[in-house]
Amino acid sequence: YGVSKKIEFDQEQMKQLAMSYKKAMEDRGIMISNDPYEQLKQAILLVFASWYSEQARIYRHQMHVSDEWGTAVIVQEMVFGNLNENSGSGVIFTRDPKGPSQDVTLYGDFIFGVQGDDIVSGLVETYPISEKHRVSEKRQSLISLENRFPEIYHELVRLAEFLIYEKRFNHQEIEFTF
C-alpha cells in the first residue's frame, strides 16, 4: 500500500491485512475461532503453556526462578491504542536501567496509533517517554510523551511514585495503553 508506518493504513487496508494473516495461519493448519470467548480461552491456555517452552526454561534458570512456580494470566478490558493519533502504547521502567539512581525517573518508549505488541515486537519506530530521555539519547525527533501527551506522562509519574515510594514495591517495568 506504499505506507511507511502502520498508522498510515486506512481501516479497509488494515482489515485486508488482518484477513491475510488469518488466511496464512489457516493455510498452516492454525485455526482461529470467530467466537471471542473461545479466543480468550485459547489465549489463556497458550500463556499457561508458554511456561514450559525452552526459552522460558532457560530464562528461569538464568534468573534462578523455580520451575514449580508457574505463570499468571491477567485478563482486562481492552483499550485501543491504535484508535487514532491521540491514542497509543508504551513500555516504561520506573527508573533509568542504565543509571545508578534509585529515584523514580521514567525511562522507556511509546508510539501513538498502535497497540503494545507493535512496540515489543520492534515493528515500529518509537519515541522516548521523557524530555530527559530524548535529550540524553540525542533523538532527532522533538516528540516525547512528556511534551506530546503531558497529562498521560504526569499520570504515569504519579502512579510510578505511588508504587515505589508509597507501596514500597521494587522498581517496575510497565506496559501502558492510552
Give the tens place of pLDDT for each residue, 42-80.
Answer: 999 999 999 999 999 998 998 888 999 988 898 888 788
Evaluate if residue 1 carries a pLDDT over 90.
Answer: no
Evaluate if residue 108 carries a pLDDT over 80.
Answer: yes
Report the candidate in 126, 115, 122 with the shortest Cα–Cα distance to residue 175: 115
The enclosing H or E element of 98 equals: none
Tell me the longest C-alpha to C-alpha distance in the chain: 52
Radius of gyration of the chain (CA): 19
* CA–CA dist 101, 88 (Å, integer): 28
Q: Is 2 left (phi over 0), alpha (psi -120 to 50) or beta?
A: left
Average pLDDT on 140-149 reads 93
* CA–CA dist 160, 93 (Å, integer): 9
At 116 the pLDDT is 72
